[in-house]
Structure 1
Amino acid sequence: MMRQAANVLAFASFALADVQPTAPDLGVPFSITQYWGAYSPYYNAANYTAPPDGCTINQVNLLQRHGARYPTSSDGKDFKASAEQLQSAKSFNGSQYDFLSNWSYQLGEDDLVPFGAAQSYDAGQTHYTRYASLVNSSNLPFLRASDSERVVETALNWSAGFAFASSGALSSPQLTVIIDQSTNDTLDDNMCPNAASSDDETDAWKDVFAPSIEDRINNDAPGASIGKSDVANLLQLCPFETVAFEQPSPWCNLFTQDDFEGLEYYLDIDDFYSTGYGNSLGPVQGVGWVNELIARLTDQPVQDATQTNSTLDSDPSTFPLGQSFYADFTHDHEMIAIYSAIGIFPQSGNLSTSEADPNRTWFISRLVPFSARMIVERMDCGGTANLRILVNDAVQPLAFCGSGNGQCTVTDFVQSQSFARSNGNGVWSQCS
């Protein structure tokens, strides 16, 4: 179902229409934040490059993750319990533990943090500056968001940043469609209850990377009896406190770069086996959005029998065709499903749970950091409709529909998406 954006403005606690923020420097070395996986602050995976000579962008499709947030309710309870377990130690060896004497758990639950709001605002400014030629006062971006408070707030802050960057030439684009996550929703991975979790794989990796950290902390904190799951929880307090309080968390000082590399792979595995290639019911959860993308690229009605909302997608007011700029706001797991449905970031095989392959291309901090974005640019190249896909500004090779130079024709792209166009080759029926 659709709810008008006006109904949610009251709870957009970090809407920044009246200020001009810039996401602050968190004071943590960039080399460390890259190991925070899906909890990494946004960074460009590459510098944006203009389209090739002779090509002009005539349509943009933006898919963006919400900005930095507090932990989920369940994760927060686990983090707090592990921290208090460490605090119960009889003594501590090392000044890095001194902060525990007056530390208490202060994080909220689920919602966008101010830093995450600023990330979203900054993204809106960037995208106006880059694509200003595609919009005007009567042709603003068409916005949709999944019905999660942090996702809606992200969309509203992006819109405010987009308008501000126009120096008053444009009003804020309206958040026209908010899709109920309890129903058919192409912006959330909520419709495949039979999909396996990644618990077995992440547990297996914890057995590899966590024991040495567990031993070290227990030697430093006699009586704490920290376990492998506690190690993973305490490591994650570093990124969550840092983005929430906008200064380096003291938890970061308990761990080494090797420890964070272990966390990075733990989070890589989590997404790979949740909605990525490692889950037989992972990529099919991105099919609906891919079919919506095809409709927009070709100016043809949506053809899909998976998680699209047919009521919304058949109504020109809630799914218009012929627009020059579309912006959808979503979650990281849904973005991973969409990447996998399209066929980008392919792997030679499933990620090992016994050792991390340093040559893999599956680094979640590069795929879905906080405020991640995938952009599909449709281009007129001498009368031919071409496209390219950028993930966090890195042009994807698209070997499945072109020569691997990051560009293919729209026709070839549509042909390459047989998995989506066939509703997942029958796999969708296994979801429920």
Structure 2
Amino acid sequence: MLLKIALVVILTSSSTTAVIDVREASLAISESSKVPDYFDTTLGWFAGPTATGDSPRLAQTNAAPFPGVSYVPNGPLETQIPIRGNKHGKNIFELLGSLSPYFPNPRGFGVNEYSLPPGSSISWVNMVSRHGSRYPTAGSDAERLGQKIHDATGKFKATGPLSFLNSWKYGLGEETLVPIGKQELFNSGTLHYYQYGHLYPNNGSKIVARTTTENRMLESAEYFMAGFFGLDWPSKARLEVIIEEPGYNNTLIGDYDCPNANLGVPKGGYNAPQVWIATYLEDATKRFQEMLSGGLSWSVHDTYAAQQLCPYETVALGYSRWCGLFTFEEWQGFEYSVDIKFAGWFGFQSPTGRANEIGYVQEVLARMTHHTINSPTDNVNVTLDNNTLTFPIYQTLNFDFSHDTNILGIMTAFGLTQFNKTLPPTHIVERELIVSHVTPFAARLDIEIIRTPQPVDANRSAKAVYLPGPPTNYVHFVLNQRTVPLGLSMQECGKRDDGWCEMETFLKVQRKQIKLVNFTYACFGDYEPVPYGEITNGLPL
């Protein structure tokens, strides 16, 4: 039977009154079904582009074993490609910024890892995860270069390492998960079950997890839930699907309710990387130009797009010839270009860096302290967050699914200033903000509450772990399986060996962080962009 379903969404911001947007759609649905729209994963609204690309044929295209490299079976991606200048056998697929397939942070964030002291327990966790590896964004540099080469096919000749271009065809889709991306989220769900399975209530109630309507976001959540619970996950959890479109209040992609974030105010995050790209890819661009003749002009922008084709083709097709065209130093340059972009657009060098995701910070604090959000505040969707059906306040397991830039925005809004170093666009510097380590595909930030029977000594090498005192709760940030030491960014937390922060102290610090953010002005105010590097705190000047 065809029924008309009305989807009601309340938009709120601190600068406008509530607006009700009613959208109707016809769909086949059981007459007896009473599942609210925001828990129905079958509607397909606002899913974004969902084009698929060519099917992989890695058994045919794989060039391994490579000269001088002992054969190692691919698993499943081919990542053992020889790279000139790679003297220490490092993996370039851990230098691809936000395009890196998931890997745990190999160096940590400046603090050692410690197990829980005897008698302590993790009582609560809030995870925000990025989606898995995907096809390029519609209209991306990679897609543009693919079209440019297609249009020039038969009019140019490529030689040397670029000779494959004479018969190469662009075969990527748009924005949907590729197979390894599905596996990344399934693996993450399985890992999180081993870590936090004890927090699932055994009373038969379902937990609520949140994702967005975009196709890769919805599927990422579903694969994660299958990894955590198994294929019968719908009997254990409900997925709340929130509209992902500009203008809708959705803290999982907060910049969509922050117009200034997308109107050029943080354009330093675009301009500064262009300076660096022109510098580090100058030699590579000359090499490419020398290998091309005829009707295919080649710019440094094309060279940068070619670098992006390496990770995109690898995660989609298993292997890419583009990867071996660049030196190890040029891959380090690529990673740094992504770091500059993220810092200037969504980090502490952006005037909207904190504002983009301050609503998500408020949601985490509300979950921690067990209250709903009942009045319009920043970019929070009060319609959903004032209702315990859609915003449970006593869940011990909280799973959200978001994007790379939004996870960095969340870290910025929390005030994790250890990542605020300004990155010059002229040369690579030592830094904490390495996007490959912070938001690779399938990145995840786990925020734990740890309950201890007594206060824990900040010096974890002390003979007596516990200090005299009452039971104490601590907050622990774990980003890609490594501790983010809260004391490095929040002096009130103290210099603890384990990076924890006493919970009441953490809440006081975060209330101050929220007051720093003038959301209305940052997101809706009329102010001019400033040159990259003049902003260091994620706020407008």
Instruction: Please give the TM-score of this superposition, normalised by the length of structure 2.
Output: 0.72
1:426 aligns with 2:518: yes
1:394 alignment counterpart: 482
Match of 1:181 among 216, 228, 245: 245
Separation of aligned partners in 1, 2:212 and 2:236: 19
Separation of aligned partners in 1, 2:134 and 2:485: 31
Separation of aligned partners in 2, 1:240 and 1:106: 10
Separation of aligned partners in 1, 2:393 and 2:501: 21
State whether residues 259 and 523 of structure 2, in contact with CA within 8 Å, keep that contact through their aligned partners in structure 1.
yes
Separation of aligned partners in 2, 1:326 and 1:236: 33
CA displacement at 1:207 relative to structure 2: 2.0
State whether residues 160 and 172 of structure 1, in contact with CA within 8 Å, keep that contact through their aligned partners in structure 2.
no
Separation of aligned partners in 2, 1:84 and 1:260: 26
The amino acid of 1:3's aligned partner reads D
1:409 alignment counterpart: 502
CA displacement at 1:258 relative to structure 2: 1.4
What 5-or-longer segments of structure 1 have no aligned partner?
14-22
The amino acid of 1:173's aligned partner reads A
Map residues 125-274 of structure 1 onto 2, 5 A cutoff: 125-137=190-202, 138-164=204-230, 171-182=235-246, 183-188=248-253, 189-195=255-261, 196-197=266-267, 198-223=269-294, 224-245=296-317, 247-274=318-345
State whether residues 66 and 154 of structure 1, in contact with CA within 8 Å, keep that contact through their aligned partners in structure 2.
yes
1:16 alignment counterpart: none
The amino acid of 1:411's aligned partner reads E
Match of 1:283 among 330, 348, 354: 354
Give CA-to-partner distance per residue, 1:176-213, whole Å, 9 cap, x none.
34344341110002122223232211211122112111
Separation of aligned partners in 2, 1:83 and 1:40: 25
Q: Which moved more, 1:100-109 or 1:400-409?
A: 400-409
CA displacement at 1:354 relative to structure 2: 0.7
Give CA-to-partner distance per residue, 1:24-72, whole Å, 9 cap, x none.
4312046110111001011111587643444210001000000011101
Larger Rg: 1 or 2?
A: 2
CA displacement at 1:143 relative to structure 2: 0.3
Separation of aligned partners in 2, 1:259 and 1:151: 31
1:301 alignment counterpart: 372
CA displacement at 1:402 relative to structure 2: 1.7
CA displacement at 1:83 relative to structure 2: 4.2
What 5-or-longer segments of structure 2 have no aligned partner?
1-8, 10-35, 51-73, 81-89, 454-470, 525-541
State whether residues 110 and 150 of structure 1, in contact with CA within 8 Å, keep that contact through their aligned partners in structure 2.
yes
CA displacement at 1:101 relative to structure 2: 2.5
Separation of aligned partners in 2, 1:68 and 1:74: 17
SS at match of 2:345: coil
State whether residues 225 and 233 of structure 2, in contact with CA within 8 Å, keep that contact through their aligned partners in structure 1.
no
Alignment CA distance shift 1:420-1:190 (3 Å): farther
Match of 2:382 among 310, 333, 336: 310
CA displacement at 1:370 relative to structure 2: 0.4
Separation of aligned partners in 2, 1:169 and 1:192: 34
1:101 aligns with 2:173: no
Please report the RMSD computed on the Cα atoms of aligned residues, expressed in angstroms: 2.7
1:354 alignment counterpart: 426
Match of 1:26 among 77, 85, 96: 77
Separation of aligned partners in 2, 1:113 and 1:348: 33
1:40 alignment counterpart: 100
Separation of aligned partners in 2, 1:121 and 1:254: 32
Give CA-to-partner distance per residue, 1:250-284, whole Å, 9 cap, x none.
11121121121111111111111111111011121
